[in-house]
Structure 1
Amino acid sequence: MNIEKAIPEDNIRLTEITKKSKAYWGYSDEQILSWSNNLTVTMLYIENNPVFKLIDKDEIVGYYSYIRQENQQVKLDNLFILPEYIGKGFGTYLMNDFLERMRIEKCQKIILDSEPNAEKFYGKIGFKKIGEFETSIKNRFMPIMELNL
């Protein structure tokens, strides 16, 4: 298992991972389709943002990406793994790589908008909920979380 910088041509595989990972939480095909624009990883996105892919046995099985902001703050924009890898330590492996990268880059604060079903995962790592916002699904709220390094 290793983590490498993604290349623009990985966009189709990363989009597939994103959609499959999101569907894992029980969202309907129609809901995933309605979110298609938000769940699509474009070549341009990979060119303009740090994106790192997790490779297991020569296959991309997950990735994360982030956006640098002002005042040594970073937004974790994506962290997705294939459903068959969820609950087996792969997400933690990705997160540890991300956190180490942030320490090297002297980042002081990380923020993220969490999938509601992943809030516990981020909480175990030390992220604290600082707010929330309602999504396109009535009565579904996305936690806004932060971690100070």
Structure 2
Amino acid sequence: MNGTTMTTSENAIDVQIRLALVGEAEQLTALSIASKARWGYTPEQVAAWRGELAVQADDIFSGRVHVAVVEEEVVAVMVLLPAKMTWKLSHLFVAEAWMHQGIGKKLFQFAVELAQQQDARAISINADPNAERFYLSCGAIRSYSIAAPIPENEHRIRPQMLFMIPAQKTL
């Protein structure tokens, strides 16, 4: 288990990052759905996205899913799909009560470290428009955008973000 302590403006938060457990798939899916719904999407739209928001047991079993835990409570989930050069961050969701406390950034930094250890050069993110600012603050760039219309917003686009991983220094 990888653990770290973070400090917020009010107090210290002890955040542990660990591999997800297979039995947590349903809980992690619910966390992902609730986090996505926070952006004001209609219940019908969130239900339509349920399949892509679901955390798959085979991803957990394969070691692709990590969670952030505070005081034994799972407060965030990250799914990182490995590839040779460019890994894909398919999920990074934080429970609403824990947003804006640095937990998402800590998980993102952890994803970068994991990818860097395997000599990946970049992490790609098919970001929700509402999350673009977060990924920009983590150092990602928008490489392009794709049309992603929904009934409530026919002009909606999804920013395609890219985080370039710094090369490891060798001695």
- Give the corresponding residue for 2:163: 147
- Distance, in Å, in 2 between the alignment partners of 1:101 and 1:69 is 12
Counting aligned pairs with the same residue, the percent is 26
Residues 5-58 of structure 1, C-alpha deviation per residue, up to 9 Å, x if partnerless?
A: 112111011101100100111111111111111111121232245110111111
- The amino acid that maps onto 2:86 is Q
Alignment RMSD, CA only? 1.3
TM-score normalised by structure 2 residue count? 0.81
More helix by share: 1
- The amino acid that maps onto 2:156 is R
Q: Are 1:6 and 2:17 an aligned pair?
A: no
- The amino acid that maps onto 1:66 is L
> Deviation of residue 69 (structure 1)?
2.1
Q: Are 1:54 and 2:68 an aligned pair?
A: yes
Q: Are 1:21 and 2:35 an aligned pair?
A: yes
Any unmatched runs of 5+ in structure 1? Answer: none
Residues 50-94 of structure 1, C-alpha deviation per residue, up to 9 Å, x if partnerless?
A: 110111111111011111223x22011110010111111111111
Equivalenced residues, count: 148
Match of 1:94 among 77, 101, 107: 107
TM-score normalised by structure 1 residue count? 0.93
- The amino acid that maps onto 1:147 is F
- Distance, in Å, in 2 between the alignment partners of 1:75 and 1:129 is 14
Match of 1:114 among 116, 127, 148: 127
